[in-house]
Structure 1
Amino acid sequence: MSRYLLDKFLYTVDRDPELTERYREDPAGTVEWWEAERANVILNCHADERSTWLAFTAEEREALAGHDHVKLFELGAHPFLTLTLFIAMFERDHGPLEYQIAYARAMDHLRLPYPDIAT
């Protein structure tokens, strides 16, 4: 499991409006493409500089493809990253603050200690 890679996915997708829409419409395809094309690109470095070892686990891929923010949190993804990205994707489908309230309710069963989200 790589919390770094989960957070990197959420961060990079959230900062690109076209990629955000792509992830909303085709989550599994976007996750597959991103993992193949962007997962090993080193942030803030020359475009040709890459690592070779980063990959999602099957569980991470499934949670990302299913837009499962609760599972992503349980896997260690930072909740601010999932919240901001998921608001960008789904808030338009709901009334004021409805999505944020539903997001919080879905995580209501979680108790301290929360998963480690340190990076």
Structure 2
Amino acid sequence: MSKYLLNKFLYTVDRDPELVERYRDEPREMVTWWEAERANSVLNCHTGEASTWLRFDDAEREALIAHDHVRLFELGAHPFLTLTLFIAMFERDNTEPLEYQKAYGMRLAHFALPYPDIAT
């Protein structure tokens, strides 16, 4: 399991409107593509440097594909990264102000301290 890779996915996808839409519309294809093409690139590095060992485990991959922010939090994804990306993807589907954010919080309400470790 790689909390770093989960957070890297959330961070990089959230910063590219085209990737946000691909992740919303075709999550399985998007996660598969991102893992193959972007997972091993060095974050914020434009010189072509890359590693070769980073990959999601099955639980991480399935949680990303399912857009399951509760499971992602359990796996160590940072909730602010998940929230900002998921707002970009799903807030438009709601009619009331902050409706998505409130639903997001309610789905995490069963967690008590200590929360899952989100340190990378």
TMscore range, shorter length? over 0.9
- Taking structure 2 as the reference length, the TM-score comes to 0.96
Partner of 2:103: 102
Shift, 1:118, TM fit: 1.6
Q: How many residues align?
A: 119
Structure 1 residue aligned with 2:116: 115
Structure 1, unmatched stretches of 5+, are none
Q: Distance in 2 between matches of 1:89 and 1:47?
A: 30
CA distance in 1, matches of 2:42, 2:80: 22
Question: Structure 1 residue 96: deviation in Å?
Answer: 1.0
Find the aligned partners of 1:27 and 1:88 in 2 and give their Cα distance. 14
| Inter-partner Cα distance in structure 1 for 2:27 and 2:7 | 16
Q: Percent of aligned positions with the same letter in both sequences?
A: 74
Amino acid at match of 2:114: P
Structure 2 runs not aligned, ≥5 long: none
CA contact (8 A) 1:31 1:64 kept: yes
- Note if 1:39 corresponds to 2:39: yes
Aligned-partner residue type, residue 44 of structure 2: N
Distance in 1 between residues matched to 2:4 and 2:49, nearest whole Å: 18
